[in-house]
């Protein structure tokens, strides 16, 4: 069974850091593009970043996270991480990871992702 499970969400103060994990089962995370998304209250789900299965390069879709968020893969744990630094209240959202089960080097459109995790809540507040 193909599955993604996120973890690591928490309540953190502005300026703090969190590392989210996305652990896969039923497939290898380094075989396919893995994307990170978030959905804030009252807003549409938006893509945050994705990591390539070709060369493990990462793309950051949202300008506001560039320089603060980093995506990486640990093949031994079959897990993709989203390291978030200097968190801001506007980063508050449920964060999801997903895959389209297609090898690639660029972030596919949201509609093409067909395996999603259950999400993990990140709240940035003082």
Per-residue pLDDT of the chain (126 residues; tens, 9 = 90+): 999 999 999 999 999 999 999 999 999 999 999 999 999 999 999 999 998 877 777 787 888 999 999 999 999 999 999 999 999 999 999 999 999 998 888 888 889 999 999 999 999 999
- Euclidean distance between the first and the last CA atom of the chain, given in angstroms as a whole number: 40
């Amino acid at each position: 069974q193909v599955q993604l499970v996120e973890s690591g969400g928490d309540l953190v103060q502005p300026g703090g850091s969190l590392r989210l994990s996305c652990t896969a089962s039923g497939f290898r995370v380094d075989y396919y593009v893995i994307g990170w998304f978030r959905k804030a209250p009252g807003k549409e789900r938006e893509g945050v970043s994705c990591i390539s299965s070709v060369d493990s390069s990462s793309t950051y879709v949202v300008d506001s996270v560039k320089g603060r968020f980093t995506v990486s893969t640990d093949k031994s744990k079959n897990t993709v991480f989203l390291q978030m630094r200097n968190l801001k209240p506007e980063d508050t959202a449920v964060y999801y990871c997903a895959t389209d089960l297609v090898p690639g080097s660029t972030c596919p459109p949201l509609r093409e992702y067909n395996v999603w995790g259950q999400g993990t809540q990140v709240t940035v507040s003082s």
